[in-house]
Amino acid sequence: MRELEVIERLRRIAKAPEARGLLDDVATLDTLVLTHDTIAEDVHFLSHDPPASVGWKLVAVNLSDIASKGASPLGALLSLTITGPGDWELDFLDGVEAACESYGLSLIGGDTIGLPVGAPRVLGLTAIGRSGEHVPHRSGALLGDELWLVGTVGDAAAGLALLEENQNADGPLVDIYRRPVPQLEAGRILAPHAHAMMDVSDGLLLDARRMADASRCAIRIELDRLPLSSAFVAERGQSLDSRLFAATGGDDYALLGVFPAKFNPATLSLPSGTRINRIGSIVGAGPRLVLTFGGESIELPEKLGFEHESFDTRRLSSSKLGHRP
């Protein structure tokens, strides 16, 4: 069973307006923004990843959704599974604590259960934020709007590839894979001006198509405009193949925003060092997603990113359950 099929079934249950039709990354409740992420061993993190980095990542990926709605962190509920003597879990909680302290997120409750020794760890967090006056939806993109990306793409996927080749690999690409940085302050500043906004976690192309589906529009992405870090370029280059790798890799936790054509979000007082680039536009009828490189149209890759489905053999990838359509 594919993730999309599960979400379609869940829509029969999640009928309240606060669920936003399960078409968004979050639910809203009065002035609150709520999101939940689950991460699983050998699906979202490697078994040999340092447990403190796994704890940091669980908090950060939830806060990335909070950031995409321009909300401020309030509190979190942790779902913790324990297997074995507990040393791994204590180090994991060190990472959770460090991330919560770094971003002003209060841990206010949760649940703890034991698993059989050797069972894959499955960990979850519900994050709660306080919204501003405008909470941008995925579905707000309008014809003629422009598409902007806050952050870079490809670093985490490149870091993961290095770790799959050598579990002792290190460097900036490995660091960003293990410890993503949610764009909270940039999201807060950008949200009041955005027609639509979401974070990028499953791959830029897949998430852009989800936005196009929700907005019932078509999105054109100019691959030669994709922002790539110097570390990524040094490792992978910046060819078309490298850019497609970056656009489909996932785990980026950048922000994808849609703004009116006459508005330049780069002129806002964003945090020092923020990278923000126009990467495309909202276009008319046709395929939901159109790619260009050097001004020429190119075919979509076979896989735009990662979507969950039932499987027997373990795979590592980036995705999330819950509000993803």
pLDDT digits (tens, 9 = 90+) for 8-22: 776 777 666 666 665
We report the CATH number of the domain holding residue 20 as 3.30.1330.10
Q: Output the six-digit token pair for 265.
A: 């979000």
Q: Output the six-digit token pair for 156.
A: 């985490």
Asked if 121 and 41 touch (Cβ cutoff 8 Å), the reply is: yes
- The stretches of the chain forming alpha helices (DSSP H) are 3-10, 51-68, 87-103, 155-165, 172-178, 184-190, 204-215, 230-236, 240-248
Q: Is the pLDDT of residue 236 over 80?
A: yes
Q: How many domains does the chain have?
A: 2
Separation in Å, CA 232 to CA 180, 243, 292: 15, 10, 21
* Residue 10 identity: L
Instruction: Give the confidence band of 202 by pLDDT, cuts at 50, 70, 90.
Output: very high
Residue length, the chain? 325
Same domain (yes/no): 67, 193 = no
pLDDT at 251: 93
Please state whether beta strands 32-40 and 122-130 pair in parallel, antiparallel, or not at all (unpaired): antiparallel
Distance CA 5, CA 8 (A): 5
To 10 degrees, what angle do helices 204-215 and 240-248 make?
A: 60
Distance CA 54, CA 65 (A): 17
* Residue 264 identity: N
Residue-wise pLDDT for 21-45, tens only, equals: 656 788 888 999 999 999 999 888 9
Which residues pair with residue 255 across a beta bridge? Answer: 150, 199
Same domain (yes/no): 155, 93 = no
pLDDT at 66: 97
Instruction: Give the confidence band of 5 by pLDDT, cuts at 50, 70, 90.
Output: confident
Distance CA 142, CA 130 (A): 26
Q: Is residue 278 classed exposed, middle or buried when 0-12, 13-18 and 19+ CB atoms within 10 A define those classes? A: middle
HSE-up of 321 (CA within 13 Å, CB side)?
18
Q: Is the pLDDT of residue 317 over 90?
A: no
Same domain (yes/no): 39, 93 = yes
Same domain (yes/no): 14, 162 = no
Distance CA 48, CA 174 (A): 13
Same domain (yes/no): 66, 173 = no
Please state whether beta strands 72-82 and 106-114 pair in parallel, antiparallel, or not at all (unpaired): parallel
Same domain (yes/no): 213, 263 = yes
Which residues pair with residue 260 across a beta bridge? Answer: none
Residue appearing with tokens 């519900």: 126
Residue-wise pLDDT for 129-152, tens only, equals: 999 889 999 999 999 999 999 999
The reply to whether 52 falls in a domain is: yes
Distance CA 278, CA 236 (A): 22
At residue 87, the 3 state secondary structure works out as helix
Same domain (yes/no): 42, 159 = no
Most confident of 143-147, 212-216, 299-303: 143-147
Which residues pair with residue 282 across a beta bridge? Answer: 219
Same domain (yes/no): 171, 74 = no
Please state whether beta strands 218-222 and 289-293 pair in parallel, antiparallel, or not at all (unpaired): parallel
Separation in Å, CA 166 to CA 39, 57, 154, 232: 22, 21, 18, 17
- For the chain, percent of residues with pLDDT exceeding 90: 78
Output the pTM of the full model: 0.88
Same domain (yes/no): 166, 91 = no
Find the domain containing 224 and state its range.
138-298
The reply to whether 321 falls in a domain is: no
pLDDT at 86: 86
Residue-wise pLDDT for 46-105, tens only, equals: 999 999 999 999 999 999 999 999 999 999 999 999 988 889 999 999 999 999 999 999
| Mean pLDDT of the 273-297 span | 93
Average pLDDT over the chain reads 90
We report the CATH number of the domain holding residue 250 as 3.90.650.10
Same domain (yes/no): 153, 206 = yes
Residue appearing with tokens 């006056």: 133
Q: Is residue 15 classed exposed, middle or buried when 0-12, 13-18 and 19+ CB atoms within 10 A define those classes? A: exposed
Q: Is the pLDDT of residue 7 over 90?
A: no
Q: Is the pLDDT of residue 247 over 50?
A: yes
Who has greater pLDDT, 5 or 152?
Answer: 152
The reply to whether 307 falls in a domain is: no
Q: Is the pLDDT of residue 128 over 50?
A: yes
Q: Is the pLDDT of residue 321 over 50?
A: no
Same domain (yes/no): 19, 70 = yes
